[in-house]
A and B are shown apart, each in its own frame.
Chain A
Amino acid sequence: MLGIVIDDSRAMRKILRGLLADLDYEVLEAGNGREALNVLESTGRVPDLALVDWNMPEMTGLEFVIEVRKISEMRQMTLMMVTTESEHGQIVRALAAGAHEYVIKPFTRDGIIDKLALLGLVPAGVS
């Protein structure tokens, strides 16, 4: 499976990359939404999963969700917001824009894996 971690914090990207790698994902990284769109375009690949921070420079996570949902080839990609943004109205906005799931920082490893399992995104035999 292929995942992309989109977060402006290198530390957070490293944590999430490690989590996905433990689930046998191949992992791409980007530091903001614009960079993520560029990575997706340059690789020509469609990730199974994107973990998306909200508050990032240049292009926010919400703006990324809105933009990537306009690309028909990317519609099969599952979008999971992983963010400190926890206001109810903002969560509703992200889900309405096309995010499938929402995780609030600080998260636990098991919390994310449980949500991925519910979405069918944990490969069989891996935990």
Chain B
Amino acid sequence: MTNDVTTTVEVDLDMIAEQVWSAFLNGGEEETIFAAPDTGAPVDLAASVAMVGAYEGHLVVSCSHKASRDVASVLFAMEPDEVTTDDVGDALGELANVLGGNVKSVLPSPSQLSLPRVSATGHERWPGTVEVCRTVVRWRDEPYVVTLLSGGPSNNAQGV
């Protein structure tokens, strides 16, 4: 099976990111730039969910440590310097989960979503995948890179 959905998903990824930020992260009340330029700023953490089934791939959210603390501080209603490492992992994982679930809804179905994984970007790899599309959200002056990957071990077996 191939994942030839690049054009459709690229449009939806911008929209989905805007919906999620606006609903969960006060995006409508603070200066948030959607579909922001990708400056290639270094990122420290990546949260991802895998999609398995009619669509095989991953949805990944990458950001800096500061950005991850900002997300956790909003979701837990705490100051950024009060959040713990566990809070950051939980919050960033839930952000990836919500983004991934909404992306999955516009991809071929049926597919299942994995539980989220959060790790340092230097330790996370998605072998056998290709990037389908990405969008950048700049929130509180920090970039969040949302990337949809296609493929993985099961697709590799089919030569995709």
Interface residues of A (CB under 8 A from B): 8-12, 14-15, 18, 55-57, 83-87, 89-90, 104-108
Closest CB pairs A-B (n = 9)? A84-B101, A106-B23, A11-B75, A9-B94, A86-B105, A11-B91, A105-B98, A87-B109, A106-B20
Chain A residues near B100 (CB, 8 Å)? 84
Interface residues of B (CB under 8 A from A): 19-20, 22-24, 72, 75-77, 86-87, 90-91, 93-94, 97-98, 100-102, 104-105, 109-111, 113, 115
Asked if B101 contacts A83 (CB within 8 A), the reply is yes
Q: How many A-B residue pairs have CB under 8 A?
A: 67
Asked if A55 contacts B77 (CB within 8 A), the reply is no
With A89-B110, A106-B19 as given contacts, are A9 and B101 in contact (CB-CB < 8 Å)?
Answer: no
Please report the C-alpha to C-alpha distance between residue A86 and residue B101 in the assembled complex, in whole angstroms. Answer: 7
Chain B residues near A18 (CB, 8 Å)? 77
Chain B residues near A107 (CB, 8 Å)? 23
21 contacts between A and B (CB under 8 A): A10-B76, A10-B87, A11-B72, A11-B75, A14-B76, A15-B75, A55-B113, A57-B115, A84-B101, A84-B113, A85-B101, A86-B102, A87-B105, A87-B111, A90-B110, A104-B102, A105-B97, A105-B102, A106-B19, A106-B24, A107-B23
Tell me the nearest residue of chain A to B22, going by C-beta. Answer: A106
Knowing that A9-B91, A11-B90, A84-B104 are A-B contacts, what are 10 other residue pairs whose CB atoms are under 8 Å apart, sorted by A's residue number?
A11-B72, A11-B91, A57-B115, A85-B113, A87-B109, A87-B110, A90-B110, A104-B102, A105-B98, A106-B19
Please report the C-alpha to C-alpha distance between residue A87 and residue B38 in the assembled complex, in whole angstroms. Answer: 31
Tell me the nearest residue of chain A to B107, going by C-beta. Answer: A87
